[in-house]
Amino acid sequence: MTLHDLLATARLVVAEIEPDEAHDRLPAGAVLVDVREPDETIHGVIPGSVLIPRGLLETTVESVVADRDTELIVSCASGVRSLLAGATLHQFGYRRVSSLAGGFTAWKAAGLPWTAPAGLDSHNRARYSRHLLLPEVGEVGQQQLLDSRVLIVGAGGLGSPAALYLAAAGVGTIGLADMDAVDLSNLQRQIIHTTHRVGEAKVSSAARSITDLNPGVRVQQHHERVGPSNAEALVAGYDLVIDGADNFEVRYALSDASESTNVPVVYGSVFRFEGQVTVFDPRAGFTYRSFLPEAPPPEVAPNCATAGVLGVLPGIIGTIQAAEAIKMLLGIGEPLIGRILVVDALAMETTELKLRGVTERGRGPPPALAP
């Protein structure tokens, strides 16, 4: 079958619409799927479009647009690949598919809005190549991560894996807030530090490990104890906070700062063999203080120094915190807002607890936090 025959067959099931009509449909909920390759999209994209290279369409579209009743407008450079891709989507059960006539070229010629991504250099393309293959991240998302700022409170058991994985992911600025020094007893779980750094400030030790892993990450060291007097000023300079604290005073200070600045907090805690993760998002009416209005007595909630903790457990919880942070920064997936994930490492079981009183945001991604 010739290309002419393939296009003729595609037009039987996929309508072609002009750029002006496509532009008018987007505010009503239509999703624009751009099937061009990364070396094409660096020259410009239509705002809000989902970038899925044609070769990855079959394997990834369902994870990006699950509802087959969603209206899809497929775009390419000139309108040829988009017709063929639209026919493929129709075969996959998507019932409302159209192709942008003339593609991105016609869109630009019509004077409709488009943006030119800053683009990644060859070094970053190689470093983050596996992210670039994910339509949910791609070049635009990776640039968002590079532009984002995350504050990690506590450079200890939870902060260690969170910091390392966020640095590896390319979060552009990582703030570290901790006033303690590395102690020999920390090394059973605080993997960002090393034996020869015992006695060194944790923020300094952690900063060195981050820089060794990814020199492109900017590290801001806050060698201070976080509390009511400084939490708001610290939090206001970041897009998101990772809470790796080990005491209630810091958690409540972060909660109040989060509420006043609208900066979400990815919370984690560990106790013996059990850990918890959730996302406190003030935009959804959900903060640590609303979850736990008053601190429990010390004998009910002892810290790790008193009760002990399995060394690998903070690694599990801190890594989940990093995953939630990336989802929040990119506005993808379904973050743990209004849900607490409980991990029992001894039984190797997970439990999800749903919380009442959280503003209903519906299933699906939150708005992206990164600029």
Query: What does the alpha-carbon distance between residue 80 and residue 78 come to, in Å, rounded to a whole number?
Result: 6
88 Cβ neighbours under 8 A, 6+ residues apart: 57, 58
Full 3-state SS string of 177-217? ECCCECCHHHHHCCCCCCHHHCCCEHHHHHHHHHHHHCCCC
Q: Which tokens sit at 170?
A: 């390319």
DSSP 52-78: --GGGHHHHHHHH---TTS-EEEE-SS
Alpha helices (H) along the chain: 3-11, 19-25, 38-41, 57-64, 80-91, 103-109, 122-127, 129-132, 138-147, 159-169, 202-213, 231-235, 248-261, 288-291, 304-307, 313-330
Exposure class string for 113-151: b at 16+ Cβ within 10 A, else e? eeeebeebeeebbebbeebbebbbbbbbbbbbbbbbbbb
The single residue of 50, 120, 304, 345 carrying the catalytic annotation is 304
How many residues are given for the chain? 371
For residue 359, give the nearest of 292, 293, 280 by alpha carbon.
280
For residue 340, what are its two tokens?
A: 């607490």
DSSP secondary structure letter of residue 247 = S
Active site residue 304: yes
The alpha carbon torsion through 275, 338, 51, 125 (nearest 10 deg) reads -30
- Residues taking part in catalysis: 304
